[in-house]
């Protein structure tokens, strides 16, 4: 069986009022990362760093929001604050429709 892809020669119209983004929490990172032959340093309490990555599918840009557990946790309020900051600062005011994907969940917003 062969897969055929047909590309159209007609240019597509770019619509700046519709955006699609994906976001996800990445793996928690221990800070500082300890590589030591002394096992005592490994068992000390480490500070955890969180990373929320937002990818704008419309223009291919990536935004990373980093914070450590001394500032905030990794709950719904913290993730929601990062997504709100992305929407208010990174997206143009021209956007009228926003589609967001996260862990196979679809969020849709329209003005």
Helix (H, G, I), strand (E, B) or coil at 80: helix
User: In this structure, are residues 21 and 100 in contact, taking their beta carbons and an 8 Å threshold?
Assistant: yes
Confidence (pLDDT) at 104: 63
Q: Mean of the per-residue pLDDT values for the chain?
A: 79
Percent of the chain at pLDDT > 70 equals 69
Q: Is the pLDDT of residue 5 over 80?
A: no
Tokens of 28: 């928690």
- Exposed, middle or buried: residue 10 (CB in 10 Å: 0-12, 13-18, 19+)? exposed
Nearest residue to 21 via CA among 60, 56, 64, 62: 56
pLDDT tens, residue by residue, 19-65: 889 999 888 888 776 666 666 666 677 788 999 999 998 889 999 99
Confidence (pLDDT) at 55: 94
Confidence (pLDDT) at 62: 94
Which pLDDT band holds residue 67 (cuts at 50, 70, 90)?
Answer: very high
Helix (H, G, I), strand (E, B) or coil at 89: helix
């Amino acid at each position: 069986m062969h897969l055929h892809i047909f590309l159209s020669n007609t240019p597509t119209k770019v619509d700046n009022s519709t955006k699609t983004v994906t976001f996800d929490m990445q793996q928690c990172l221990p800070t500082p990362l300890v590589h030591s032959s002394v096992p005592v340093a490994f068992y000390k309490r480490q500070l955890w760093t969180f990373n929320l990555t937002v990818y704008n599918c419309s223009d291919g840009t990536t935004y990373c929001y980093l914070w450590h557990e001394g500032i905030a946790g990794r709950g719904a309020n913290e993730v929601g604050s990062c997504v709100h900051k992305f929407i208010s600062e990174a997206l143009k005011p021209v956007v009228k429709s926003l589609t967001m994907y996260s862990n196979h969940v679809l969020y849709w917003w329209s003005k």
